[in-house]
Amino acid sequence: MGFRKKSKSPPVLSHEFVIQNHADMVSCVAMIVLLGLMFEMTAKFAIMFITVQYNVTETLDTDAEDKPEPVSYYTYGPKDMATVFFYLLIAIILHALIQEYILDKINRRLHLSKTKHSKFNESGQLATFYSFSFIWGCSILTNEEFVTNPTFLWEGYPHIHMAFQVKFFYICQIAYWFHALPELYFQKVRKEDIPRQLYYICLYIFHITGAYVLNLHRLGLVLLVPHYLVELLFHASRLFYFSDENKQKGFTLWALLFVITRLLTLTVSVLTFGFGLSRTDNQGFSLAEGNFNVLTVRVTCLSAICLTQAWMMWKFINFQLKKWREQSQIQASKKKAVSPKSRPSKKDSRGGSVNGVMKPEDKTSPRERKPKAS
């Protein structure tokens, strides 16, 4: 009677051990931060990680008879790095939960290859994040009325005061994209896929952090929401494609919205930096006041957005050309497979003869010779 061999657990603190148990380790760190709220000595430090910092209260005069109402706003500062770090830990935990309890179960049913397996996991995670961020961003745009009045994007700049939802939205966005960097190691992403993912992760961090620090959070929100909708459609279409390769209609709609969103992004950016901010009264550069409305900053921001849109369009065109070539190759292979069946056989081309000799079962027979007259 043979005994079943037990799978050996990886050594403690080895690469495999960290990858398998990274969610538990991160959960322990997050629990330590939460336990700090229970003690008076550590509560003030724990609050810095958990809650949004830099609260500013202002009074708004509604009517002459009523008392002024206090309204809470928020600014940004160095303490936001601690808040970003804590929600980075939360993002890693949620990433592991979605992977284990949703995506892994679907992968077992689909039986995908290694290449499709990694792409399916990537699209599943990003589709979840994009859907959540799109709904959250739409609610903020509706409440803050950023869309109904386009001049709201540059009037009153610098926009140093943010509502709680706006600041928390940016904190979560920055934390999520920073968490995507260690996830490349935790998820064992293939070496050939790492550069592609690093490009868009770094671009998200650069643009979102830039909008947050330069007090351009209104413009950032208006540009992020339609972009997230397009990305959500792409990754949802890719998920359906992996489940059934005949479902490709979503890519057509994505291609149309992708081009429209690029044009919309360029239009709003040129309108804001080229016409709006350049004509405001508050021109100048001041770190204390959070004012970055100078020509150098405006040209740099507009150039960064234009270059990013051009790079995305270049990748989009290459993707469409690659897809067109694959479809043309598939159609050519199908034609080659059908063409031999339509060709006449050797037997038919020679009128039923084999090696120049007529078969006896054929209906036609050779003509008889006439006897010579004597």
| pLDDT tens track for 81-122 | 999 999 999 999 999 999 999 999 998 888 888 888 889 999
The model's pTM: 0.84
The residue length of the chain stands at 374
Secondary structure class of 236 (helix, strand, coil): helix
- Indicate the pLDDT class of residue 332, thresholds 50, 70 and 90: confident
Q: Report whether pLDDT(270) > 80.
A: yes
Q: Which residues pair with 57 in a beta bridge?
A: 72
- Indicate the pLDDT class of residue 306, thresholds 50, 70 and 90: very high
The predicted structure's pLDDT at residue 114: 81
Residue scoring higher pLDDT (19 or 307) = 307
The predicted structure's pLDDT at residue 369: 56
CB–CB of 49/85 below 8 Å? yes
Q: Report whether pLDDT(35) > 70.
A: yes
The predicted structure's pLDDT at residue 131: 97
The predicted structure's pLDDT at residue 344: 52
- Indicate the pLDDT class of residue 372, thresholds 50, 70 and 90: low
Residue scoring higher pLDDT (85 or 281) = 85
- Indicate the pLDDT class of residue 5, thresholds 50, 70 and 90: very low
Q: Report whether pLDDT(149) > 90.
A: no
The predicted structure's pLDDT at residue 249: 82
% residues pLDDT > 70 (the chain): 85
Segment 25-49 shows an average pLDDT of 93
The predicted structure's pLDDT at residue 2: 44
**Secondary structure letter of residue 13 according to DSSP:** T
Name the residue among 224, 221, 226, 219 with its Cα closest to residue 301: 219
- Indicate the pLDDT class of residue 367, thresholds 50, 70 and 90: low
Segment 36-54 shows an average pLDDT of 92
pLDDT tens, position by position, 166-222: 999 999 999 999 999 999 999 988 889 899 999 999 999 999 999 999 999 999 999
The predicted structure's pLDDT at residue 1: 42
DSSP count for the chain of H helices, then E strands: 11, 6
64 Cβ contact partners less than 8 Å away, ≥ 6 residues apart: none
Q: What single letter denotes the amino acid at residue 262? A: R
- Indicate the pLDDT class of residue 59, thresholds 50, 70 and 90: confident
- Indicate the pLDDT class of residue 374, thresholds 50, 70 and 90: very low
The predicted structure's pLDDT at residue 4: 41
Residue scoring higher pLDDT (291 or 363) = 291
CB–CB of 171/83 below 8 Å? yes
Q: Which residues pair with 285 in a beta bridge?
A: 292
What are the distances in angstroms from CA 348 to CA 13, 344, 351?
A: 75, 6, 5
The predicted structure's pLDDT at residue 3: 41
**What are the b/e assignments for 65-104, b being 16+ CB within 10 Å?**
eeeeeeeebbebeeebebbbebbbbbbbbbbbebbeeebe
Cis ω on the peptide bond leading into residue 158 (within 30° of 0)? yes
